[in-house]
């Protein structure tokens, strides 16, 4: 096993090589297997990474940082990258109209993975912002890859709204840097550690304003309401494997920035307001998700609003803070990555089979495909937080954190809305599985490439729901302590 710095270099080199060779050789079959090999290598290196990191490692002249939080987000990203790369092979082969452009798709797909793997290990908040911005540029081309009017419109909406949010995040980053100049001088190395060190000496009003800007800016990328309006279009109009990457990986990368800035304000003794901000954003996201999930008609838009819900849950976890809140939020990040990949894969399969995005056209799914239908239905039960799946454990942990502190009202709000979402979400699946026989019989061409990733997504959710390894809980406690995110006042 290479040392930690070499491991990170290999993780970044694998998708970089896939990008270059896919463009140079320009053969779809070669590109799809090359991207899959890169994703498999990235996952193999990232899987043990959180347990290999004991102390934060800074190298490359201070530009790269690897701590357990960065390693955890890298693992979540690598997991979705591998699952979506597997699924892409079966899904994209069905797009006959894009056959001549598939090598470009896989080059963009690897580039998307690379930008999300770069972001967590940035030690400079400015460079972290650049990496998050790069994810927008690359993924916008993937959202519009099918070149249909709805896809192109969604891509433009995605760029405009997210860029507006990231402009606010950039302003907040600049203000954080400016606050440090009063203590460290006009020029200094802006790192997460330097912000932590200088924060107690910066004017509280400036720190709070800076945090509000980065919370709204990166919160736009996370998909927190009311900054979420780009998310349903982008997630629903892009190819299904791209939707899985957007939901299961990208949102976590953006949340990392919000949490790191939360830690900066904690060290300045100003944690009360930032915690409340995250709690309010999380609670409002749950309300918006509940309203739209119950009235939704499109399969992938249903999954998109579910992403708004679950990132709201993660925001509540970090907002509640403390060992329980942070542990629940970290666990929920992985669970959501796995579960949302499964749900978008299932939605992509059913859209192909029934030749429609509309759930009204999808009927008797279990009769059409007992195995795939059962996997998708199990995923639907899991995504609503029902036992025995892992999301039940992470959501229950976050609820415990809320009721243990003074923010019991937010925990009660979360519990009530999760019940509403549970009923509304599964009502759609009841109609899809037990409705009238469809007029047009569905196609039956579902390859192993399209079903195997669903198994690989569901089984860990079931395993982690039945058995939580002690090493995983110990990892979460270590990350919580290192972030310095205490319980909400």
Predicted confidence (pLDDT) per residue in 282-312, tens digit: 999 999 999 999 989 889 999 999 999 999 9
3-state secondary structure string across the chain: CCCHHHHHHHHHHHHHHHHHHHHHHCCHHHHHHHHHHHHHHHHHHHCCHHHHCCCCEEECCCCEEECHHHHHHHHHHHHHHHHHHHHHHHHHCCCHHHHHHHHHHHHHHHHHHHHHHHHHHECCHHHHHHHHHHHHHHHHHHHCCCCCHHHHHHHHHHHHHHHHHHHHHHHHHHHHHHHHHHHHCCCCCCCHHHHHHHHHHCCHHHHHHHHHHHHHHHHHHHCCCCCCCHHHHHHHHCCHHHHHHHHHHHHHHHHHHHHHHHHHHHHCCCCHHHHHHHHHHHHHHHHHHHHHHHCCCEHHHHHHHHHHHHHHHHHHHHHHCHHHHHHHHHHHHHHHHHHHHHHHHHHHHHHHHHCCCEHHHCCCHHHHCHHHHHHHHHHHHHHCCCCCCHHHHHHHHHHHHHHHCCCHHHHHHHHHHHHHHHHHHHHHHHHHHHCCCCCCCCCCCCCHHHHHHHHHHHHHHHHHHHCCCHHHHHHHHHHHHHHCCCCCC
Contact 43, 78 (CB under 8 A): yes
- Residue ranges of domains in the chain: 273-489
Residue-level pLDDT at 357 = 87
Do 251 and 333 form a contact (C-beta atoms < 8 A)?
no
In the predicted model, what is the mean pLDDT of the chain? 93
Q: What is the mean pLDDT of residues 111-129?
A: 97
Q: Please choose, from the candidates 87, 80, 82, 89, the residue with its C-alpha nearest in 3D space to the C-alpha of residue 31.
A: 89
Contacts of 419 (CB under 8 A, 6+ apart): none
Ranges 38-52, 53-67, 152-166, 356-370: which has the least confidence: 356-370
Residue 385 backbone phi and psi in degrees, to 5: 85, 25
Q: How confident is the model at residue 143 (pLDDT cuts 50, 70, 90)?
A: very high
Q: pLDDT tens digits, residue range 348-404?
A: 999 888 888 889 888 888 888 888 999 999 999 999 999 999 999 999 999 999 999
Question: Is residue 258 predicted with pLDDT exceeding 80?
Answer: yes
For residues 122 and 236, which has the higher predicted lDDT (pLDDT)? 122
pLDDT of 6 over the 80 cut: yes
Asked if residue 24 has pLDDT above 90, the reply is yes
Binning pLDDT at 50, 70 and 90, where does residue 236 land? Answer: confident
Measured distance CA(453)–CA(155) in Å, rounded? 26
> What integer pLDDT is reported at residue 1 of this predicted model?
65
The predicted model gives 110-136 an average pLDDT of 97
CB atoms within 10 A of CB 346: 28
Out of 51-60, 153-162, 329-338, 479-488, least confident range: 479-488
Average pLDDT, integer, range 251-263:
96
Confidence of residue 235 (pLDDT cuts 50, 70, 90): confident
**C-alpha span between 394 and 331 (Å, rounded):** 6
The answer to whether the beta carbons of residues 227 and 163 sit under 8 Å apart is no
């Amino acid at each position: 096993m290479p040392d930690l710095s070499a491991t990170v270099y290999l993780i970044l080199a694998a998708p970089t090589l896939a990008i270059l060779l896919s463009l140079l050789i320009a053969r779809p079959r070669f590109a799809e297997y090359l991207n899959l090999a890169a994703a498999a290598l990235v996952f193999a290196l990232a899987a043990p990474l959180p347990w290999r990191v004991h102390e934060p490692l800074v190298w490359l002249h201070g530009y790269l940082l690897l701590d357990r939080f960065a390693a955890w987000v890298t693992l979540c990203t690598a997991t979705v990258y591998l699952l979506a790369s597997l699924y892409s092979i079966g899904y994209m082969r069905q797009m006959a109209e894009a056959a001549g452009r598939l090598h470009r798709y896989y080059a963009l797909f690897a580039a998307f993975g690379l930008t999300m793997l770069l972001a967590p290990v940035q030690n400079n908040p400015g460079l972290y912002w650049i990496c998050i911005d790069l994810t927008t540029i690359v993924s916008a081309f993937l959202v519009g890859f099918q070149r249909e009017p709805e896809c192109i419109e969604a891509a433009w909406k995605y760029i405009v709204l997210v860029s507006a949010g990231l402009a606010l995040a950039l302003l907040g980053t600049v203000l954080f840097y400016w606050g440090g100049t009063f203590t460290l001088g006009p020029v200094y190395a802006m790192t997460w550690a330097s912000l932590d060190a200088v924060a107690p000496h910066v004017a509280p009003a400036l720190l709070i304003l800076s945090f509000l800007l980065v919370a709204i800016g990166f919160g736009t990328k996370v998909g927190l309401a009311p900054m979420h309006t780009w998310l349903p279009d982008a997630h629903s109009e892009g190819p299904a494997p791209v939707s899985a990457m957007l939901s299961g990986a990208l949102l976590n990368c953006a949340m990392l920035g919000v949490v790191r800035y939360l830690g900066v304000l904690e060290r300045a003794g100003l944690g009360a307001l930032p915690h409340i901000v995250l709690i309010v954003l999380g609670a409002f996201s749950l309300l918006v998700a509940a309203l739209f999930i119950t009235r939704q008609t499109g399969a992938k838009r249903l999954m998109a609003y579910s992403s708004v819900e679950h990132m709201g849950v993660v925001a509540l976890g970090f907002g509640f803070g403390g060992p329980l809140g942070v542990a629940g939020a970290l666990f929920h990040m992985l669970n959501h990555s796995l579960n949302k990949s499964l749900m978008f894969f299932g939605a992509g399969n059913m859209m192909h089979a029934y030749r429609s995005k509309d759930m009204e056209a999808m009927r008797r799914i279990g009769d059409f495909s007992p195995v795939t239908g059962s996997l998708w239905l199990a995923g639907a039960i899991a995504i609503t937080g029902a036992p025995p799946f892992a999301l039940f454990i992470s959501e229950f942990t976050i609820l415990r954190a809320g009721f243990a502190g003074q923010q019991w009202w937010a925990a009660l709000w979360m519990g009530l809305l999760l019940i509403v979402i549970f009923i509304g979400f599964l009502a759609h699946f009841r109609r899809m599985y037990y409705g009238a026989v469809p007029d047009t019989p569905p196609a039956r061409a579902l390859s192993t490439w399209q079903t195997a990733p669903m198994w690989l997504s569901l089984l860990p959710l079931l395993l982690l729901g039945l058995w939580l390894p002690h090493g995983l809980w110990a990892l979460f406690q270590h990350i919580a302590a290192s972030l310095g995110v205490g319980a909400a006042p």
